[in-house]
Amino acid sequence: MKSLANIWRNLPLKAKIGVGLFGFFVLAGIIGPMVAPYDPSLQTPLTMAGPSGQHWFGTTQEGQDILSQVLTGIRLTLELALEVGVIVTVVSVLVGVTSAFLGGLWDDILSLITNVFLVLPPLPLLIVLLGYLSQQGQTATVVVLSLLGWPWGARVIRAQTLAIRGRDFIDASRETGEKNWRIIVFELIPNEISLIAASFVNTVLYAIGASVALAFVGLTNVNSWSLGTILFWAQTDSALQAGAWWWFVPAGLAVALIGTSLVLLNSGLDELGSPRLRATRGTAKVAGHKIWPTDPTPVLAQLQSSRSRFGSFVYSFSRRSMLEGNAAGGDL
Amino acid sequence: MTSPGWTWSFLSNALEHAILPAFTIVLTSVAGWMLQMRNVMITTISEDYVIAAQAKGLSRRRIIFTYAARNALLPQLQGFGLALGFVVSGALIMEIVFSYPGIGYLLLEAVQNKDFPLMQAIFLVITFAVLVANLVVDLIIVFFDPRARTREAA
Amino acid sequence: MAPILEIDDLSVAYRSAGGDVHAVEHVNLTLNAGEVVGLCGESGSGKSTLAYGATRLLRPPALITSGSVRYRGRRITHGGDPVDVLTMNHKELARIRWHEVAIVFQSAMNALNPVLRVQDQILDAITAHLKLPKHEAREKAATLLDLVGIPRSRLRAFPHELSGGMRQRVMIAMALAADPEVVIMDEPTTALDVVVQRDILAQIVELKETLGFSVLFITHDLSLLLELADRIAVMYAGRLLETGSASAIMREAAHPYTQGLLHSFPSLHGPRRELVGIPGTPPDLRDTLPGCPFIPRCSFSIPACTEVDMSLAPVTGPPGPPGSHLTACPIVTPEEASQEGVLS
């Protein structure tokens, strides 16, 4: 628990915003359908109506309540994306770690499979596969997305595992006779946690984008209310031309915000995993001044003199100036 | 409506209609590349040869472009190869939204009409284009990174 | 003769949320024209930080907290007052870097740009400071390679195509490209085998005689400095413990740490003896304990050691002119005459 609190404290602001935003959507996904005022498929005579007290987000051409649709959609989209994320992460870690750790023929075979899948362009393949598959439910989408998403993570994890594998502590574990799988689970993977986490977040991001794209094109079940389906119906019923902005804006905004929150989250993870990124983060603050990495090393005396008289006076009361040994009140 | 062909009227028409979708794609993709380049640059700037370049008293421009950026580009180029391949596979969503009759749109229609021969042909073309793009990028990488030139000989 | 480079009371700290790491504490060091000063210390003693701090090449969160670095090269001062490197702005620094003070980095593989040919990197150094027409600059680059003993055909090579020794020679050639007055060498031969090391050191000495620059040679290898340097300064935990001529230090090292260093490598002549290391580990630079940082590992320490202010005082006794062999150890300098700490 303490390390979690530590991690939270060290996260940059943008990552905290990302976590908060994503948490909000997860919450919305959990309780959404339960608090939705109407059944999303329920058709009412109040068609193409703008936002009102009765329908916060307005209605569609069939008079369906958009708020309920969006709430249901968030849950469905998140469910799908998280499922894909978990499957892909498990598969890519398995493949990546195994191929790097075992090496030799295994490595060659698994790398070949990975590379083949990597080169295939995903969207056309998705379209074709879904076209072939008779059943177009959620499961099919999850399967197809997972099938196409795992090579990326596998390649990155393999590269990282290769780098770690060469390090001494792995050899030391081998010498003491630890079984291979124990080494993998207890020594190797803990060192790659941040990479795996980043890969997971990236996969979820990709799954959201791809599933919305597929739904928008009409290749998934158009009767289940995911966020992409809402946009599909908005497109089909010419919402844009009719000026019914309330139809596609909430759904589109939800997708954009979920995506943004994931990206922000990922940037925080990036900096957690790579100490150099954390340490530099572009400009650094030294003695209260912003210093670029390529600036000459700052000299304390010069920094202090660049403060105005009033600034120095105010600064002299700060705790930091006390640490530097200056009397309060400064030179006055 | 001009008929397809290698005529200027057709090509200019296609280009004219491509401006908006192209602009949308660029707008949404640029940020990702920028962030990645920034991250790689941060790592590259702390390399010893950049410090050496500073110690040599070179102009800031020279340090940033010839010493830092040229090295930071190399990992980016790998991703560029894959991205190039995907560009050829058609920005499907853009084509639908803007009603641009590109290859992605064609593939979608083929799937909806269960036109299997057409699907196979399109897929072949796309895969071929991806492989060619990867080859081109591999050559570019060899041009930019002298270390890649001798690796095969080693 | 006034020294060409005078580091006066320099302190460098790394600022972090957990407090300052005092990498260099109040160090005085002078370099006279045409001499070789060796800076000796173990890893983490602050010797490289001192050199890079003096040329302001350290990256954030490094901060120079005190002192001045005065340079008296004729080209800049024209016989007038010395300039302080620490007060210079970006432009002035760019002029003084390389043209006046050049650096030979430790790892040549990392310090050379992997995508540029050797010729281009040397030309960069030349054209940044000397206004030479293109063909003259190219000829100068070729001459530099001749100076360090590399065939001219290597001009168009990339760094990864050269051997370790060749790369280090290229670094030296590059350092001399703008005719500097001072060359700082940061462990230039540590990563090389002894045979190549000897060649390169011989080359350095020869170049120094021919071109007449001063050298600040940083290394952990005291035995090397005893042969190479005119004067030696010993650093530990960011502080200067002892300075003196090479012969003075070799014959009667004053500080227990220096004595420990001298006893830790075998001599080629003389009877075989057991090698004695220095027990213990270097201190954490975050908390500066009072007095001498070597106390925990020193077998001679007395209670007064915690109260010494680490300023250098002359060692009593023969040889050498008075005031040339200085140390911060209170045991050897019972007369703690406070002085300037400036070597003459």
Tens-place pLDDT, residues A72-95:
889 989 999 999 999 999 999 888
- Under the banding of pLDDT at 50, 70 and 90, the label for residue C101 is very high
Is B71 in Cβ contact with C94 (below 8 Å)? no
Other CB atoms within a 10 A radius of the CB of residue A237 amount to 17
Residue B1 has pLDDT above 80, yes or no: no
Structure confidence at residue C218 (pLDDT): 94
Average pLDDT in the C264-290 region? Answer: 77
Structure confidence at residue C283 (pLDDT): 82
- Under the banding of pLDDT at 50, 70 and 90, the label for residue A51 is confident
pTM: 0.76
Query: In the numeric block, which tokens belong to residue C132?
Result: 């030479």
Q: How far is CA A160 from CA A107, C129, C143, in A?
A: 14, 43, 45
Tens-place pLDDT, residues A222-257: 778 888 888 888 888 887 777 878 888 888 899 999
Residue B105 has pLDDT above 50, yes or no: yes
Q: How far is CA C256 from CA A290, B57, C141, C252, in A?
A: 42, 40, 46, 11
Closest-CA distance, A314 to chain C, in angstroms, reads 21
Structure confidence at residue A170 (pLDDT): 67
Q: Is the ipTM of this complex over 0.90?
A: no
DSSP C139: H
Which uninterrupted H or E stretch holds A203? helix A193-217
- Strands C239-245 and C231-236, sheet pairing: antiparallel
CA distance C316 to C129: 47
With beta carbons less than 8 A apart as the criterion, state whether C46 and C7 touch: no
Higher pLDDT, A98 or A282: A98
Average pLDDT in the A171-178 region? Answer: 72
CA distance A66 to A47: 11
With beta carbons less than 8 A apart as the criterion, state whether C310 and C234 touch: no
Percent of chain B with pLDDT over 70: 93
Average pLDDT in the B132-139 region? Answer: 85
Nearest to C57 among B47, B55, B58 (CB): B55
Q: How far is CA C44 from CA C47, C235, C236, in A?
A: 8, 10, 8
Q: With contacts defined as CB-CB under 8 Å, which chain A residues touch B39?
A: 270, 277
Which uninterrupted H or E stretch holds C6? strand C5-14
3-state secondary structure of C217: strand
Is B55 in Cβ contact with C94 (below 8 Å)? no
Query: In the numeric block, which tokens belong to residue C326?
Result: 């200085």
Q: With contacts defined as CB-CB under 8 Å, which chain C residues touch A12?
A: none
Nearest to B107 among A118, A127, A276 (CB): A127
Structure confidence at residue C10 (pLDDT): 92
Kindly report which listed range (A104-118, C184-198, C306-320) carries the lowest average pLDDT score. C306-320
Query: In the numeric block, which tokens belong to residue B86?
Result: 């995907």
Structure confidence at residue A325 (pLDDT): 59
Query: In the numeric block, which tokens belong to residue B21?
Result: 């979708």
Tens-place pLDDT, residues B40-52: 888 788 888 999 9
Residue C321 has pLDDT above 80, yes or no: no
- Under the banding of pLDDT at 50, 70 and 90, the label for residue A26 is very high
Q: How far is CA B9 from CA B1, B5, B14, B19, B121, in A?
A: 10, 9, 9, 16, 27
Spell out the residues 6+ positions from residue C116 whose beta carbon is closer than 8 angstroms to its own: B66, B67, C124, C158
Q: With contacts defined as CB-CB under 8 Å, which chain B residues touch A217?
A: 92-93, 96, 108
- Under the banding of pLDDT at 50, 70 and 90, the label for residue B151 is low
- Under the banding of pLDDT at 50, 70 and 90, the label for residue C126 is very high
Spell out the residues 6+ positions from residue A198 whose beta carbon is closer than 8 angstroms to its own: A266, A269, A270, A273
Closest CA to C34 of C180, C223, C218: C180
Is the sign of the CA dihedral C327, C328, C333, C339 positive or negative? positive
Higher pLDDT, B60 or C265: B60
B53-82 residues touching A, CB cutoff 8 A: 54, 60, 63-64, 82
Is A297 in Cβ contact with C53 (below 8 Å)? yes
Mean pLDDT over each residue of chain A, to the nearest integer: 79
Structure confidence at residue C336 (pLDDT): 40
CA distance C252 to B82: 67
Closest CA to A87 of A182, A206, A184, A4: A206
- Under the banding of pLDDT at 50, 70 and 90, the label for residue C173 is very high
User: Length of chain C, please?
Assistant: 344
CA distance A130 to A133: 5
Tens-place pLDDT, residues C210-232: 888 999 999 988 888 988 899 99
Which uninterrupted H or E stretch holds C12? strand C5-14
Number of Cβ pairs closer than 8 Å across B and C? 74
Q: How far apart are the first and last CA of chain A?
A: 48
Structure confidence at residue C302 (pLDDT): 78
Instruction: Determine the residue type at A324.
Output: E
CA distance C10 to C49: 11
With beta carbons less than 8 A apart as the criterion, state whether C235 and C306 touch: no
Structure confidence at residue C320 (pLDDT): 53
The winner for highest mean pLDDT among A28-32, A96-100, A213-217 is A28-32
Structure confidence at residue C109 (pLDDT): 84
Comparing alpha-carbon positions, the chain C residue that sits nearest to B71 is: C115
Structure confidence at residue C318 (pLDDT): 56
Structure confidence at residue A182 (pLDDT): 76
Tens-place pLDDT, residues A259-318: 999 988 887 777 666 655 555 555 666 676 777 777 888 888 777 766 666 676 777 777
Closest-CA distance, B13 to chain A, in angstroms, reads 24
Q: Is B77 on the interface with C (CB under 8 A)?
A: no
A266-305 residues touching B, CB cutoff 8 A: 267, 270, 274, 276-277, 280-282, 293-294
Q: Is B49 on the interface with C (CB under 8 A)?
A: yes
Is the sign of the CA dihedral A179, A180, A181, A184 positive or negative? positive
Mean pLDDT over each residue of chain B, to the nearest integer: 82
Higher pLDDT, C44 or A311: C44
Average pLDDT in the B93-122 region? Answer: 84
Percent of chain A with pLDDT over 70: 80
Structure confidence at residue C62 (pLDDT): 87
- Under the banding of pLDDT at 50, 70 and 90, the label for residue C337 is very low
Instruction: State how far Cα B80 lies from the chain centre.
Output: 5
Query: In the numeric block, which tokens belong to residue A226?
Result: 């995911």
Is C113 in Cβ contact with B71 (below 8 Å)? yes
Structure confidence at residue C1 (pLDDT): 64
Mutate to test the interface with C, among A276, A300, A304, A320 (most CBs of C within 10 A): A300
Closest-CA distance, A294 to chain C, in angstroms, reads 7
User: Length of chain A, please?
Assistant: 332
- Under the banding of pLDDT at 50, 70 and 90, the label for residue B153 is very low
CA distance A307 to B136: 54
Residue C267 has pLDDT above 80, yes or no: no
Closest-CA distance, B24 to chain C, in angstroms, reads 35
Kindly report which listed range (A290-304, C234-248, C249-263) carries the lowest average pLDDT score. A290-304
Structure confidence at residue B152 (pLDDT): 45
Structure confidence at residue C36 (pLDDT): 93
Structure confidence at residue C343 (pLDDT): 29
Q: With contacts defined as CB-CB under 8 Å, which chain A residues touch B36?
A: none
With beta carbons less than 8 A apart as the criterion, state whether C190 and C106 touch: yes
Nearest to C63 among A280, A293, A300 (CB): A300
Mean pLDDT over each residue of chain C, to the nearest integer: 83
- Counting as contact any 3 or more CB pairs under 8 A, the partners of C are A, B
Is B57 in Cβ contact with C94 (below 8 Å)? yes
- Under the banding of pLDDT at 50, 70 and 90, the label for residue B130 is confident
Is B66 in Cβ contact with C103 (below 8 Å)? no
